[in-house]
């Protein structure tokens, strides 16, 4: 169970379909709360970094890394090995790369070679373009790439990506459930861990994932607005047959 924190400037924010953003609060306060509640990992995404060609999360990551002891993944605006180095020195364990990887796929292999495949997370923003077909988008779901999601994921894993962060733009923030066909196709195409993001809203949405090879679920909306605690989410996941860490005493 991964707590996802989308960041704009100094604020934790949340939107629907990656748009219509609302300020939630201080990202570090929420990160520490989710860690204490039992999050297995924290995912920080600078949602405007690619637009402005820079990532401003270094200070936020440093503060979080001093107080949490689970893996931290950072994404948004990471365009080079130097950017990866900055994030790693700030306390990140992994980097999630989308826009720059599509712009120059060789970057995937370069990061994997320098820091290991386990560090190189391919971030994918998928939009449905036809039944059973999804296109990869960049710049927080704004820009089309013409790349088929499944084919792009396979290529990136062949280049060295050790993990896939799969965000359904169609489902993101809707609380209507995950894009199950998308998840099934991506999981079937690669043999690395896949994390699904976008759409979680109720216990039955986790139960629907039981037949997939999904490794993790990233949750934002339900946590930020306190609609469900991590303990409750884990209990639902366990009931659905997933192997998850024990709940943290409240």
Catalytic center residues = 6, 125
The DSSP 8-state label assigned to residue 55 in this structure reads -
DSSP β-bridge partners for residue 194: 164
d(CA 168, CA 179): 7
Q: How many CA atoms lie within 13 A of 191 on its CB side?
A: 1
Q: What is the b/e burial string over 189-214, where b = at least 16 CB atoms within 10 angstroms of the residue's CB?
A: bbebbbbbbbbbbebebbeebeebeb
Query: In 3D, which of 124, 123, 60 has the Cα closest to residue 92?
Result: 60
Is 127 within 8 Å of 161 (Cβ atoms)?
no
Residues in the chain: 250
Query: In 3D, which of 114, 187, 109, 188 has the Cα closest to residue 196?
Result: 187
């Amino acid at each position: 169970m991964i707590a996802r924190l989308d960041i704009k400037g100094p604020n934790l924010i949340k939107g629907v379909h990656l748009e219509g953003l609302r300020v939630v609060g201080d990202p570090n306060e929420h990160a520490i709360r989710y860690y204490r509640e039992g999050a297995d990992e924290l995912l920080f995404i600078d949602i405007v970094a690619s637009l402005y060609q820079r990532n401003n999360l270094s200070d936020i990551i440093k503060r979080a890394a001093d107080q949490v002891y689970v893996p931290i993944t950072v994404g948004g605006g990471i365009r080079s090995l130097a950017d990866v180095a900055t994030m790693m020195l700030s306390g990140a364990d992994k980097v999630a790369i989308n826009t720059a990887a599509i712009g120059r796929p060789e970057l995937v292999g370069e990061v994997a070679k320098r820091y290991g495949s386990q560090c190189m997370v391919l971030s994918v923003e998928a939009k449905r373009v036809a039944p059973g077909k999804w296109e990869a988008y960049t710049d927080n779901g704004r820009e089309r790439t013409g790349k088929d999601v499944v084919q792009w994921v396979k290529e990136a894993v062949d280049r060295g990506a050790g993990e896939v962060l799969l965000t359904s733009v169609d489902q993101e923030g809707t609380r209507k459930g995950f894009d199950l066909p998308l998840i099934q196709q991506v999981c079937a195409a690669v043999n690395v861990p896949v994390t699904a993001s976008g759409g979680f809203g109720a216990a039955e949405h986790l139960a629907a994932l039981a037949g997939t090879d999904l490794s993790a679920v990233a949750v934002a909306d339900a946590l930020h607005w306190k609609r469900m605690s991590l303990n409750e989410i884990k209990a639902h996941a366990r009931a659905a047959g997933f192997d998850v860490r024990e709940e943290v005493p409240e």
